[in-house]
Structure 1
Amino acid sequence: MPATVYYVISDTEITDKTATNVKEAALSDTGFISASFITVSCQNIDSTNIVTIEGLPEETELFTYLVAESYATDTVLQNEVTAFQFKTKKRLDIETYQSPMKARAVLYVRYVPDEVGFIHPEKKLLPLIIFLGGNGEVAPPGEIKLIQNGSIPKYLNDGHDIPFIVIAPEHTEEEWDVDFIHEVVEYSLETYAVDPNRIIITGMSGGGIGTLSYAMAYPEIPAAIVPISGEGETEQACKLTDLAVWAFHNQEDPKVPSAGSVEMINAIKACDPGPLKEVNLTIFLDEGHNCWIRVYNPDSNMWELDPSVEPVNIYDWMLGQSK
């Protein structure tokens, strides 16, 4: 039996919140933060329906109203309106630190979960993700272009939470400087409640290349790396045998051939002695350069592009890695 759920989200309380008014407001979609409806199936009363609403104002108290209408026999609009309040939080911050390498203030995107903050004795340590943007995220000094294009900052900004501190440094030139990445890692360790044994480096495209380059230059730092659509110097692959690796690539990648990931993973596995941690490679059979949207968003419908690959939650995998 199908039903329709009408909902309205407002930054002010609706005083005359009758079922009819809520339905009309949802259908008109005027004058509210968000107003719409979804059709659901009532065949299974235990099923859960999730509606994701993007673009809500940050740090704002919002009022939500819902009313259902069923079609069992006649159309019946429920009498009572479900109402609740919630406060949105700020998803990401753009911060700066004074970089000795750059001799200037450097921008970075910061995400800190609610349960942890700056270093403090009673705060527990959380794992750290350093995210490196690709060439599409290059911007002049003083600008951030990282909250886009399926990046981790974009995933977080869309309303998702992960149990990591995330630092995404500004990307001002196509080739990542490994010493600059290391400076960002050290700054993060000094400034935030980071577990030094649970540092993850990941990036997409040029950031995937930067991820491999950094891990080869500083193999003692990461617990794991996730290079996406990247490549690296295979003759240095045996420097990576002490950390967990999961590489992703599209088979028909017109910008960075998938051989870059395949050859790197094969080179790590061929080391003597072999890798001490988990080493994975996922090749998607579809075309195009961008395979990272689905990797960084476990619920993305892009997983459907290659049904032969089971969707994975890369954050669960990252969470299980430690030095």
Structure 2
Amino acid sequence: MNKKHCILTAWICMSILAVSCHKDDDSDKLPTTIETQPAVLTPVTQSIGNNIGGYYEAMPAQYGQNDAKYPLLIFLPGAGQYGTGSTADLAKVLTEGTPVWLRQQKFPPNFLVNGQNFALIVLVPQFKTEPRYADLRAFIDYAFSKYRIHKSYFYLTGFSLGGRQTAEFGALEPTVPAAIVTMAGAFTYNLPGTVIGIADNKLPVWCFHNEQDQAIPSKETKDFVAAINSFNPAIPARQTIFPTSNADLKHDCWTKATDPAYKENGMNIYEWMLSHKR
């Protein structure tokens, strides 16, 4: 056997070994068990950056019983939920949207999507004042370092100013989330140029708004979606505009949108998000 043949044989063996090792590597595998118990909702007093004093975590009941990695949903509340992060203030973030369903134990512990079972980690930060990109980036980095997160299944959603922050993060870092959902707030600056990354990087976007919203006009969401779709993306941005509302200032579209029972095309927002991965 000549030298060149020996080197080639060694390279092939190493390649097979590398593929075999990768195949057996469970470090990025999702949990194999199906969650049946409600998520464990816990307040966490923790300063993260200058604008977060605490957050709520909702952990799958079996999280501590395995070493698998989980999908992550970060839910961004609106201005009415701002606070210091103290135990008393943190309760504010449980009053609207997804955290309500978690608090009432009506949030499904398991989602079956395309034959795959998923259990979500949900984190709800409390900002002291209106957040900026750096505040959210710091929280995401913290979450990725503290929890076992499968980064291919990271999702971001929020309402009102939280919806705006969700849309802004999607525009600035379109390769990080696997999907985003905005409610009653979107991104408005320098459209359409600032959202071309969303289109080019195939970031799925689903936006909700009330047509009669008196706090943030529905035009904000419509313009955001239209700007993305002006680039003919492989995954067109979608919008749901509710025609009427009985809410104060007709602003609250998120109670309906975050309800696990509300579905379009057979999927609620959580199933829709989980149908996408990076």
TM-score (norm 2): 0.73
**Higher helix proportion:** 2
Quote the offset at 1:290 in angstroms. Answer: 0.5
Name the structure 2 match of 1:156.
102
Question: Which of residues 167, 175, 185 in structure 1 aligns to 2:140?
Answer: 185
Stretches (4+) displaced over 3 A: 88-91, 309-312
| Among candidates 200, 213, 228, match of residue 268 of structure 1 | 228
Deviation string 1:243-302 (CA, Å, 9 cap, x unpaired) is: 11000011111111101111110100112xx323352111111131101101111336xx
Q: Does 1:96 align with 2:45?
A: yes
* CA–CA distance in structure 1, aligned partners of residues 44 and 236 of structure 2: 34
Deviations 1:84-119 (A, max 9, x none): xxxx877410113342x329x7301001112324xx
Letter in 1 for 2:121: I
Query: Aligned equivalents of 2:162 and 2:222: distance in 1?
Result: 17
For residue 40 of structure 1, what is the aligned residue in structure 2? Answer: none
8 Å contact kept, 1:216–1:240: yes
The worse-fitting range, judged by mean Cα deviation, of 260-269 and 153-162 is 153-162
Q: Which residue of the partner structure matches residue 113 of structure 1?
A: 60
**Distance change (3 Å), C-alpha of 1:180 and 1:315:** same
The alignment-based identity, stated in percent, is 27
More relative contact order in 1 or in 2 (CA 8 Å, sep 6+)?
A: 2
| Equivalent of 2:212 in 229, 247, 252 | 252
- Partner of residue 94, structure 2: 147
Task: State yes or no: 1:170 paired with 2:126.
Answer: yes
Alignment of 1:8-27 (within 5 A): none
CA contact (8 A) 2:184 2:218 kept: yes
Following the alignment from structure 2 to structure 1, what is the Cα–Cα distance between the partners of residues 72 and 154?
5
Normalising by structure 1, we get a TM-score of 0.63
Distance in 1, matches of 2:105 and 2:205, equals 27
Distance 1:316 1:137 in 2: 26
Count of residues in correspondence between the two structures:
220
1:60-80 residue CA offsets vs partner (Å, 9 max, x unmatched):
xxxxxxxxxxxxxxxxxxxxx
What is the Cα-based RMSD across aligned positions, in Å?
2.3
Residue 166 of structure 2 aligns with an amino acid whose one-letter code is T
Which residue number corresponds to residue 42 of structure 1?
A: none
- The 3-state SS of whatever aligns with 1:92 is strand
Distance 1:212 1:275 in 2: 16
For residues 22-41 of structure 1, the aligned pairs below 5 Å read none
Unaligned ranges ≥5, structure 1: 1-87, 304-308
More strand by share: 1
Aligned to 2:243: 285
Q: CA 1:90–1:312 in 2, change beyond 3 Å: closer, same or farther? A: closer
* Residue 123 of structure 1: how far off its partner (Å): 2.0
Unaligned segments of structure 2, at least 5 residues: 1-36, 110-118
Maintained 8 Å contact 2:228/2:236: no
